[in-house]
């Protein structure tokens, strides 16, 4: 089975669109997301444009604030503090990576944890670990929704996550643990990675290396979620998994593009909506 993230995300976006429509009748303002982009990183520009387009599609008010790469840390923190105070703003997202002179941790800590639509604030990271209500990072949240969509019960299943980043690997491992899976987190220092992966009923791959994972890493009938966004030798978008090599061995797999990527953006909209409700209780 090829898990069609694009189609599933469209279905969810249409649901959100209806909800936003109801909100516009019931409340005197729309949910609002503010995205701050510092610098001219090409990939970031594309991601931000996608986020803006998706917000417009569902009717969420979106504002993108763009600064050139020389924008100071001090000015950025001041801007975030101002947005924290603005009652019309539900979600604040600072697009990563930031230029080297800006301390990413400081920036993430400055965003009001109740407007932290990416779920990267340390308070929200702690809440995720504790299993408490919080904005859940978008990519991991999207993966859990996809597993739900294919009615996959994680109870007692072996999950192997390759990658231990704060934005993907660690949070998705926590979410799988909450769903009663047995979870292993692998990384660049893991010994005999193929052997570790071969025990996975669900293999989550978030490495950032084009087509690194081939059928030698896959247990027959596994579910494979490919988070990677890379370019192959022909400059075509591809994942961390060698799709053609593994597709006949798996039970289900997400393609790249059209798998996890669209779900990430959709979960950003969902998080914005959830924060709006929280602010209007």
What is the binding site for ligand NAP (CB under 6 A)? 139, 162-165, 167-169, 186-190, 193, 206-209, 227-230, 260-261, 264
Residue 271's contacts (CB-CB under 8 Å, 6 or more residues apart) are: 91, 117, 118, 119, 135, 136, 138, 141
Taking the least distance from each CB to ligand NAP, the nearer of 168 and 241 is 168
In the set 118, 201, 226, 242, the catalytic residue is: 118
Rounded (5°) CA angle 66-71-73: 115
In the set 13, 32, 90, 95, the catalytic residue is: 95
Distance CA 3, CA 224 (A): 10
Taking the least distance from each CB to ligand NAP, the nearer of 176 and 186 is 186
Distance CA 275, CA 273 (A): 5
Based on the residue annotation, tell me whether 18 is a catalytic residue of this protein. Answer: no
Based on the residue annotation, tell me whether 118 is a catalytic residue of this protein. Answer: yes
In the set 51, 115, 141, 157, the catalytic residue is: 51
H or E stretch covering 172: helix 169-178
Closest CA to 279 of 58, 12, 32, 64: 32
Taking the least distance from each CB to ligand NAP, the nearer of 56 and 188 is 188
Taking the least distance from each CB to ligand NAP, the nearer of 23 and 197 is 197
Taking the least distance from each CB to ligand NAP, the nearer of 32 and 141 is 141
| Nearest residue to ligand NAP, by Cβ distance, number only | 165
User: CB 196 → ligand NAP: shortest distance, Å?
Assistant: 10
User: CB 222 → ligand NAP: shortest distance, Å?
Assistant: 17
User: CB 19 → ligand NAP: shortest distance, Å?
Assistant: 23
User: CB 163 → ligand NAP: shortest distance, Å?
Assistant: 4
Distance CA 254, CA 238 (A): 11
Q: With H, G, I as helix, E, B as strand and everything else as coil, classify residue 94.
A: strand
Based on the residue annotation, tell me whether 15 is a catalytic residue of this protein. Answer: no
CB under 8 Å, gap of 24 or more: what pairs does 127-131 form? 128/171, 128/174, 128/175, 129/174, 131/178
Cβ burial 34-56 (10 Å sphere, 16+ → b, else e):
bbbbbbebeebeebbeebbebbe
Active site residues: 51, 95, 118
């Amino acid at each position: 089975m090829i898990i069609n993230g694009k189609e599933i995300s469209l279905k969810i976006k249409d649901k959100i669109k209806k909800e936003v429509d109801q909100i516009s009748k019931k409340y005197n303002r729309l949910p609002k997301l503010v995205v701050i982009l510092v610098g001219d990183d090409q990939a970031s520009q594309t991601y931000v444009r996608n986020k803006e387009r998706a917000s417009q599609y569902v009717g969420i008010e979106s504002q993108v604030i763009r600064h050139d790469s020389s924008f100071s840390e001090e000015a950025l923190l001041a801007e975030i503090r101002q947005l924290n105070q603005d009652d019309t703003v539900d979600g604040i997202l600072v697009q990563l990576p930031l230029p080297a002179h800006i301390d990413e941790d400081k920036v993430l800590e400055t965003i009001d944890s109740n407007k932290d639509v990416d779920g990267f604030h340390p308070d929200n990271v702690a809440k995720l670990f504790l299993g408490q209500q919080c904005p859940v990072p978008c990519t991991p949240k999207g993966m859990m929704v996809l597993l739900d969509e294919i009615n996959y019960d994680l109870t007692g299943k072996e999950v192997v996550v390759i990658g231990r980043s704060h934005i993907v690997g660690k949070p998705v491992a926590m979410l799988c643990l909450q769903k009663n899976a047995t979870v292993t987190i692998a990384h660049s220092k893991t010994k005999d990675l193929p052997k570790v992966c071969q025990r996975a009923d669900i293999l989550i791959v978030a490495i950032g290396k084009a087509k690194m994972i081939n059928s030698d890493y896959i247990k027959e009938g596994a579910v494979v979620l490919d988070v990677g966004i890379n370019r192959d030798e022909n400059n075509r978008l591809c994942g961390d998994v060698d799709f053609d090599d593994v597709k006949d061995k798996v039970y289900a797999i997400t393609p790249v593009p059209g798998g996890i990527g669209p779900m990430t953006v959709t979960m950003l909209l969902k998080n914005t909506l959830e924060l709006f409700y929280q602010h209007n209780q």
